[in-house]
Amino acid sequence: GEQVEQRPPHLSVREGDSAIIICTYTDSATAYFSWYKQEAGAGLQLLMSVLSNVDRKEEQGLTVLLNKKDKRLSLNLTAAHPGDSAVYFCAVTTGGLSGKLTFGEGTQVTVIS
């Protein structure tokens, strides 16, 4: 089945700087890619999602890049602020009727003022 690796597991970034989180996946049939944010003690907030026909998407200080050749997905947080401190997860699915999302292990992002 699909395997997703996410790195780094921990990331410290100064306020105003950028941070990048990378996920690699194994199944070339993967069709849909998402990024979620989880603040302490809370549920998962959907940040952004892209279909496999999209290489780049930018929204509200976030950039998602998809490299299907290398099976790599990245999330770039630009101009980090303290509210960005959280755990970030990538999630992928090959589609079909299951709707199953396969998650990366998560990246704990700490924004230092």
Partner 1 sequence: DPKIIQKPKYLVAVTGSEKILICEQYLGHNAMYWYRQSAKKPLEFMFSYSYQKLMDNQTASSRFQPQSSKKNHLDLQITALKPDDSATYFCASSQEDWGPYEQYFGPGTRLTVL
Which spans of this chain sit near partner 1 (rule: CB under 8 A)?
A: 31-32, 34, 36, 42-46, 49, 51, 89, 91, 93, 95-106
Q: How far apart are the first and last CA of the chain?
A: 41
Mode of pairing for the β-strands spanning 62-67 and 56-59: antiparallel
Residue 47 token pair:
């940040």
Nearer to partner 1, 42 or 112 (CB): 42
Task: Compute the least distance from the CB of residue 19 to partner 1, in Å.
Answer: 20
Nearer to partner 1, 43 or 83 (CB): 43
**Residue with tokens 């299951």, as numbered in its chain:** 98
Task: Compute the least distance from the CB of residue 15 to partner 1, in Å.
Answer: 28
Task: Compute the least distance from the CB of residue 63 to partner 1, in Å.
Answer: 19
CA dist., res. 101 & res. 62, Å (int) = 21
Nearer to partner 1, 61 or 95 (CB): 95
Task: Compute the least distance from the CB of residue 39 to partner 1, in Å.
Answer: 11
Taking the CA atoms of residue 10, residue 14, residue 16 and residue 20 in that order, the dihedral angle to the nearest 10 degrees is -20
Nearer to partner 1, 28 or 79 (CB): 28
Report helix, strand or coil for 83.
Answer: helix
